[in-house]
Amino acid sequence: MENWSVRDDDRPYVRPVRSFNPWLAVAAIGAAAWLGAFYFRYWLEPARPPVPQVSAPVEPAAAPVPAPQPEPAIRHPLETAAAAPESLPTLDNSDSMMRDSLSHLLGGKAFADIVVPYQLVRRIVATVDNLPRRTAPTRAMPFNAVPGAFAAVASGESTIVDDANFARYAPYVNVFEAVDAHALVAAYVRVYPLFQRAYEELGYPGKYFNDRLMEAIDDLLATPDIDAPLKLMRPRVLYEFADPELETRSAGEKTLLRMGRQNAARVKEKLWEIRRELLAASGRR
């Protein structure tokens, strides 16, 4: 009988039983619970309606800004100017006609005493153009200079316009006040082409003289009515108003101030009459 033995490595292999790990069980249970909650949240829960998209409010379109209206080339056209006679003299030969017309309107003596009898149309146009400016040269005016010297008097520590000075202007104011405004404007309209020609000759081609006349009248009417002595200063040869607001006013306004409150009021009243007649002649009231 043969002897034999069983070696250790020839024994059959049996896997050893592993011990139980409780932490793996806890992790598995937690994962299962999370998956169940996920399923319930996204599959079993009813779908919510979509949130409406709110768009930003649309602002209404801004109303278009109207373009500024261009200023008319002629603001005060004279409707009857087209009816002026074609037989008007030339500007250089117009003095005889103007002397006759102004003598009739002012009176022969007043015309001789006050009016410079030559280059009348050109003088009137130049004076009208200068009155709203700071200075109005007397050499271009159609009237003789007011007689006498400008009168000033000391009042305390100030110098004021002497009331006696106002009498110098009275003859001019009397003549101006007596003029028939309707007849004056009618005569002006008849010979308007001469005034227009002189205005263009003065350096305003394409401009309308009657518009400038209305500007000059409105400027004179804007002269302040001051019921107090007007204080003066004399920094150079001539007197000036001590109030800078008065001294910087136009030449026409300062002329009315120098002639005194009462004289200025009478001139303004006649200017209102002339202005109304000019508006009527241009088709306006």
Give tens-digit pLDDT for 118-173: 999 999 999 999 999 999 999 999 999 999 988 899 988 899 999 999 999 999 99
Percent of the chain with pLDDT over 90: 66
Q: What is the pLDDT of residue 46?
A: 47
pLDDT band at 11 (very low <50, low <70, confident <90, very high): very low
Among 31-40, 77-86, 269-278, top mean pLDDT goes to 269-278
DSSP 283: T
pLDDT, tens digit, for every residue of 23-36? 444 444 444 444 44
Domain ranges of the chain: 88-281
Range from 15-29, 50-64, 215-229 carrying the lowest mean pLDDT: 15-29
Q: Confirm if 91 and 197 have CB atoms less than 8 A apart.
A: yes
Is residue 266 predicted with pLDDT exceeding 60? Answer: yes
Mean pLDDT, rounded, for 194-198? 97
Helix, strand or coil for residue 278?
A: helix
What is the enclosing helix (H) or strand (E) of 120? helix 120-130
Give 150-161 pLDDT, tens digit per residue.
Answer: 889 998 889 999
User: What pLDDT shows up at residue 13?
Assistant: 39
Record the pTM: 0.74
The 3-state DSSP class for residue 225 equals coil
**What is the sign of the dihedral through the CA atoms of 39, 41, 42 and 43?**
positive
Which of these, 235, 240, 231, 239, lies nearest to 156 by C-alpha position? 231
Give the phi and the psi of residue 260 in degrees, each rounded to 5.
100, 155
Rounded-to-integer distance, Cα 285 and Cα 278, Å = 9
- pLDDT computed for residue 65 by the predictor: 67
